[in-house]
Amino acid sequence: MKAVIAAAAVAFLISLFGTPVAIRVFTALKAGQPIRSIGLASNQGKKGTPTMGGVAFIIATVFAYVAGHLALTTLPERQIAQRGPTMTALVLLGLFVFCGVVGFFDDFLKVRRRNSDGLSARGKLLGQALVAGGFGVAALYVASSNGQTVASEHISLFRDISWLDVGKVGSVLVFVFVITAMSNGVNLTDGLDGLATGASTLVLGAYAIIGYWQYRHWCADDTYARANEYCYQVRDPLEIAMIAAAGSAACLGFLWWNTSPARIFMGDVGALGLGGLIGGLAVATRTTLLAIIIGGLFVLITTTWVIQIVSFRTTGRRVFRMVPLHHHFELGGWSEINIVIRFWIVAGVCVAIGLGLFYSDFLAANG
């Protein structure tokens, strides 16, 4: 617990006090957010607000991970496998950083061209797929000394589903789908001040709880094997808990400056990075299908976006006034702050349901 708390505290402080530095730097570089001319009139006043703020909480999370490992030096000898950087950390932080890099190129092109046209949709998806594919191979093919890998060859809900074995190649493809879907889901949600940041704080916090719970009931700890209690077959759960807690706290520090009226936007560098990290956490904790519930707000916004596109292209009619979904409510007369708070509530309810189901499964397994 000491390492998790240390990582979260360091991430929060670096993000809280580092974001104003990012605001000054990106303002000086004239890295202002372009706003689409066909967008909502209420958003035109945000034009020029510095973007790429996701760099701040990504850096904060990486430094916090190092700080968490400094706290691990006091752990008992039986936990020494957790002390050095692991493949789990390399995969999760790698997804966070390199999905962020794809978003950075998108943001850079928008700023340079002074319009909202960054990377093409195909180019963005290709970049995400390459990043996810590379780390997916590492997650499936690089095993620890006891044969454990970061990802599994099975589809998972609360743990691996034994009869849903898709093999290593199939698992890499699932990995790529989860990462690209979640990163685009967070990106679509990032449309109002603080909306994606607050929702990501909640989701990452949920994965910090799941990771730490799995660490306390870890099959590598023979205490549970001797007691014949249910344990979790995951790799490096303490690493998972530290990174998720650090990411959540870093988002919270960033949220101080990102709430309405936002002083800085996370940009695609932040949105794609967060989505990559959340997707990686879902795979690493063996809760891939449960992520649909925990990240329910992102899934809802993505689903309604797909419905709108399909409906318009097939029938010429719109189901919603405008997508992503938060803009539908803006056009319905809701204020930005009301939408953000109510969507945070939806995200919180989804997280609570997801954690409740996760814990209920544990109780049933030990019943």
Binding site for Mg(2+), by residue number, is 187, 268
Q: Which residues fall within 8 angstroms of residue 229, CB to CB, at 6 or more apart?
A: 217, 366
Give the span between the Cα atoms of 209 and 355, in whole angstroms: 8
* Amino acid at site 246: A
Tokens 């939806």 found at = 346
* Half-sphere exposure for 225 (CA within 13 Å, toward CB): 6
Instruction: Report how far apart the first and last C-alpha atoms of the chain are (Å, whole number).
Output: 27
Output the known binding site. 187, 268
Look at residue 148 and give its three-state secondary structure.
Answer: coil
Give the span between the Cα atoms of 200 and 186, in whole angstroms: 8
Give the burial class of 245: count Cβ atoms within 10 A of its Cβ; 0-12 exposed, 13-18 middle, 19 or more buried: buried
Q: Which structure tokens are listed for 316?
A: 């010429």
According to DSSP, the residues that pair with 154 across neighbouring strands are 165
> Is residue 305 left, alpha or beta, with left meaning phi > 0 and alpha meaning psi from -120 to 50?
alpha
Work out whether the CA dihedral 17, 85, 73, 204 comes out positive or negative.
positive
How many Å is the maximal CA-CA distance in the chain? 65
- What DSSP state is assigned to residue 58? H
Q: Which of 231, 243, 228, 200 is nearest to 60 (CA)?
A: 243
According to DSSP, the residues that pair with 160 across neighbouring strands are 156
Helices 121-141, 167-189: crossing angle, 10 deg rounding: 140
Phi/psi for 50 (5° steps) reads -60, 145
Instruction: Give the start-end residues of each E strand in the chain.
Output: 154-156, 160-165
